[in-house]
């Protein structure tokens, strides 16, 4: 923007000399270095303009760009900018910084005082990146906002966007985002914005071209009790009536039901049928609740409404042949459900005293579904808490992954994976609300583990605590190279076991696994597996250290089975990071 000194509104701003006016008029432009700013000066239609010489898209120089009708076009990727304001006409490019200009006695003076609030600008750019599905814009915004705003604020932006613009409701993108938020405490500081970027990019992908969800209004009668709403909600889910079910949920929030009561409603409906959508539905509910915890349940109506479609559209395993033939597993668990009240009552006098997990694990991994159900019921009678029982099933499910035989079909990794993340979700749910309805999910999880017994025939050998070394940290340095090669599942598992049994710090291992997960192209199930394993590790380590090691070994094997990939997401993020650091990408050889 060219202004005379007399009419300047920036006389109190910090102007510095840039160049002689005649030089820029003669040459049509010039590059000047002003206090660590590299600025491109342009002379167009009788005016002088000053903009940052770095194109905000990928850092290429703007000097020498085509300038016409007040618009400069970057010659590298053809991003177009208004010379006066720096505003872009291409959303993928971002605005370039424009510097106010004054002409003083034939000299060009440029104002270096910042004119834009960086945080406000990057918040808007993050929203732009989500709306247009531009990963590079998302990455730039997250990197710029890192340490300037709380991670929960960045997370909330993605949560609000994903639950608003996804007609099909809560899905893999929002689950990935919440998993990444859960993983932040385990990651190195440099990897934390990388994790948020991947989660937000997953949300943008799921929401691409999706219409917004228009919520329903609550019922006008504000005196409905919790039990009535719960029964109505379960009935509407049974009938696959999404609109009516959503109205119940919204009403529950508006009438002031407690968080525990709302959680109870959701999990009761999710366990009225067996193992919905091979476990995804319960896992989605758990992740939505964890997401709400991060935002203190702000926007609860919109987030909870996103769970209704996954509940009403879910496949029900009692309708599948595998749960009915050759053994009617549904009949077995239905019979067990009738015994739950009496079993809980019998164990109430010894609540928390159960200590037979090792014995139960053998039966849970066996081939007799009735014996599996019996051991769970007997555990309750012996004083096992709902949480203890859920932890036992989650551990058994993880062992299916730890013992997965690599001679199985590659797709069967997911078959082994689903019961584990489902059992983890049930476990986390019972930690919130130890309801008898959700307790049914423990039995469903046990049956899904039973159905996958063929994946451990013969079982892969779990490494034993031997061949320890003095400096286990050296083993972690070998893990990245190991996962650069395919078919290193067993080798990676052995390395991790040796590291842990040699006294290596689990925290360093988890940070390393997180880093190795992030460098691969986004895979929904891998991210689920790592996040659930880390959470279960700390819950199991209190009572079963060796078992907790097996969880991390299982997660490593699963990650190794899904590495390496193209790693294009990491490349996009690294480009954004280098641009943020001011590097010259165009000078690479």
pLDDT by residue, tens only, the chain of 589 residues = 444 333 334 345 789 999 999 999 998 899 999 988 899 999 988 899 999 999 999 889 998 888 888 899 998 899 999 999 999 999 899 899 999 999 999 999 999 988 778 899 999 999 999 999 999 999 999 999 999 999 999 999 999 999 999 878 999 999 999 999 999 999 999 999 999 999 999 999 999 988 999 989 999 977 899 999 999 999 999 999 999 999 999 999 999 999 999 999 999 999 999 999 999 999 999 999 999 999 999 999 999 999 999 999 999 999 999 999 999 999 999 999 999 999 999 998 888 778 767 789 999 999 999 999 999 999 999 999 999 999 999 999 999 999 999 999 999 999 999 999 999 999 999 999 999 999 999 999 999 999 999 999 999 999 888 888 888 999 999 999 999 999 999 999 999 999 999 999 999 999 999 999 999 998 999 999 999 999 999 999 988 999 999 999 999 999 999 999 999 999 999 999 998 888 877 665 4
Please state the three-class secondary structure of 459-524 as a single string.
CCCCCCCCCCCCCCHHHHHHHHHHCCCCCCHHHHHHHHHHHHHCCCCHHHHHHHHHHHHHHCCCCH
- The whole-angstrom separation of Cα 47 and Cα 477 is 58
Expressed in angstroms, the distance from the first to the final Cα of the chain is 37
The kind and range of the H/E element at 380 are helix 369-381
Tell me the two tokens of residue 550.
């097996």
- The whole-angstrom separation of Cα 400 and Cα 419 is 9
Q: What is the pLDDT of residue 350?
A: 85
For tokens 């590495």, what's the residue? 563
Q: What is the pLDDT of residue 589?
A: 44
Asked if 280 and 310 count as a contact pair (C-beta separation under 8 A), the reply is yes
- The whole-angstrom separation of Cα 187 and Cα 474 is 19
For tokens 């990491």, what's the residue? 570
Contacts of 60 by beta carbon, 8 Å cutoff, 6+ apart: 54, 74, 75, 76, 77, 585, 586
The answer to pTM > 0.85 is yes
The kind and range of the H/E element at 589 are none
- The whole-angstrom separation of Cα 169 and Cα 280 is 13
Phi, psi of 48 (to 5 degrees): -105, 135
Of the CA atoms within 13 Å of residue 207, those in its CB half-sphere come to: 30
Q: What angle do CA 562, 560, 282 make, to 5 degrees?
A: 60
The kind and range of the H/E element at 7 are none
Phi, psi of 280 (to 5 degrees): -65, -40
For tokens 């539905």, what's the residue? 281
For tokens 């340095």, what's the residue? 477
- The whole-angstrom separation of Cα 105 and Cα 30 is 19
Q: What is the pLDDT of residue 454?
A: 95
Q: What is the pLDDT of residue 7?
A: 35
Nearest to 21 by CA among 13, 6, 32: 32
Record: fold of 2-111: Rieske Iron-sulfur Protein (2.102.10)
Q: What is the pLDDT of residue 6?
A: 35
- The whole-angstrom separation of Cα 547 and Cα 540 is 7
- The whole-angstrom separation of Cα 243 and Cα 213 is 12
Asked if 39 and 53 count as a contact pair (C-beta separation under 8 A), the reply is yes
Tell me the two tokens of residue 577.
């990071």
388: burial class by Cβ within 10 Å (0-12, 13-18, 19+)? buried
Long-range contacts of 405-413 (CB under 8 A, 24+ apart): 405/455, 405/456, 405/457, 405/458, 405/459, 405/460, 406/460, 406/487, 406/489, 406/490, 406/561, 408/455, 410/561, 412/455, 413/525, 413/558, 413/561, 413/562
Asked if 261 and 294 count as a contact pair (C-beta separation under 8 A), the reply is no
Determine the longest span between alpha carbons in the chain, in angstroms. Answer: 95
- The whole-angstrom separation of Cα 404 and Cα 492 is 13
Tell me the two tokens of residue 520.
């691969």
Please report the DSSP string for 14-49 in residue order: -EEEEEEHHHHHHHSEEEEEETTEEEEEEEETTEEE
Q: What is the pLDDT of residue 269?
A: 98
Asked if 100 and 110 count as a contact pair (C-beta separation under 8 A), the reply is yes
Q: What is the pLDDT of residue 223?
A: 85
If you ran DSSP here, which 8-state letter would residue 213 be given?
P
Q: How do beta strands 47-52 and 66-68 pair? A: unpaired
- The whole-angstrom separation of Cα 490 and Cα 382 is 38
**Residue ranges per structural domain of the chain:** 2-111, 118-207, 226-313, 391-429+464-582
For tokens 């050889």, what's the residue? 589
Q: What is the pLDDT of residue 76?
A: 87
């Amino acid at each position: 923007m060219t202004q005379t000194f007399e009419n300047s509104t920036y006389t109190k701003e910090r102007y510095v000399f840039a160049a002689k006016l005649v030089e820029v008029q003669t040459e049509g432009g010039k590059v000047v270095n002003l206090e660590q700013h590299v600025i491109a000066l342009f002379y167009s239609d009788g005016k002088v303009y000053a903009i940052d010489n770095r194109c905000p898209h990928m850092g290429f120089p703007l000097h020498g760009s085509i300038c016409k009708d007040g618009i400069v076009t970057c010659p590298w990727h053809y991003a177009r900018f208004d010379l006066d304001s720096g505003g872009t006409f291409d959303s993928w490019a971002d605005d370039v910084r424009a510097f106010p200009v004054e002409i003083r006695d034939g000299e060009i003076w440029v104002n270096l005082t910042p004119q834009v609030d960086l945080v406000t600008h990057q918040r808007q750019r993050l929203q732009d990146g989500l709306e247009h599905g531009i990963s590079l814009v998302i990455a730039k915004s997250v990197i710029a906002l890192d340490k300037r705003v709380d991670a929960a604020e960045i997370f909330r932006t993605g949560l609000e966007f994903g639950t608003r613009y996804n007609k099909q409701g809560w899905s893999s993108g929002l689950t990935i985002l919440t998993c990444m938020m859960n993983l932040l405490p385990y990651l190195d500081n440099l990897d934390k914005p990388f994790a948020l970027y991947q989660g937000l990019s997953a949300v943008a992908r799921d929401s691409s071209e999706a219409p917004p969800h228009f919520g329903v209004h609550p019922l006008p009668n504000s005196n409905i009790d919790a039990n009535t709403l719960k029964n109505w909600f379960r009935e509407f889910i049974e009938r696959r009536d999404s609109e009516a079910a959503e109205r119940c949920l919204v009403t529950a929030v508006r009438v002031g039901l407690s968080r525990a009561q709302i959680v109870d409603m959701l999990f009761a409906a999710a366990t009225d049928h067996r193992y919905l959508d091979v476990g995804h539905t319960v896992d989605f509910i758990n992740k939505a609740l964890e997401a709400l915890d991060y935002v203190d349940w702000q926007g609860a109506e919109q987030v909870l409404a996103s769970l209704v479609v996954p509940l009403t559209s879910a496949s029900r395993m009692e309708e599948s042949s595998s749960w009915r033939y050759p053994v009617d597993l549904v009949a077995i668990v239905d019979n067990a459900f009738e015994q739950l009240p009496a079993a809980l009552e019998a164990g109430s006098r010894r609540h928390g005293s159960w200590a037979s997990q090792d014995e139960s694990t053998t039966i849970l991994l066996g081939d007799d579904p009735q014996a599996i159900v019996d051991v769970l019921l007997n555990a309750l009678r012996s004083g096992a808490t709902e949480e203890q029982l859920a932890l036992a099933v989650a551990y058994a499910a993880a062992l299916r992954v730890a013992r997965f035989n690599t001679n199985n079909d590659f797709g069967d990794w997911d078959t082994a994976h689903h019961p584990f993340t489902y059992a983890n979700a049930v476990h986390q749910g019972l930690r919130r609300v130890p309801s008898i309805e959700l307790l049914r999910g423990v039995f469903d999880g046990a049956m899904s583990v039973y159905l996958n017994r063929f994946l451990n025939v013969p079982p892969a050998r779990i490494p034993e605590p031997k061949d320890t070394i003095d400096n286990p940290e050296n083993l972690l340095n070998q893990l990245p190279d190991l996962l650069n090669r395919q078919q290193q599942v067993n080798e990676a598992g052995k390395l991790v076991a040796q590291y842990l049994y040699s006294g290596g710090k689990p925290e360093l291992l988890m940070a390393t696994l997180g880093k190795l997960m992030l460098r691969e192209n986004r895979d929904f199930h891998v991210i689920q597996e790592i996040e659930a394993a880390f959470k279960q590790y700390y819950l199991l380590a209190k009572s079963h250290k060796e078992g907790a090691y097996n969880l991390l070994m299982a997660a490593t094997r699963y990650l190794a089975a899904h590495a390496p990939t193209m790693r294009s997401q990491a490349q996009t993020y690294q480009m954004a990071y280098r641009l943020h650091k001011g590097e010259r990408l165009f000078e690479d050889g």
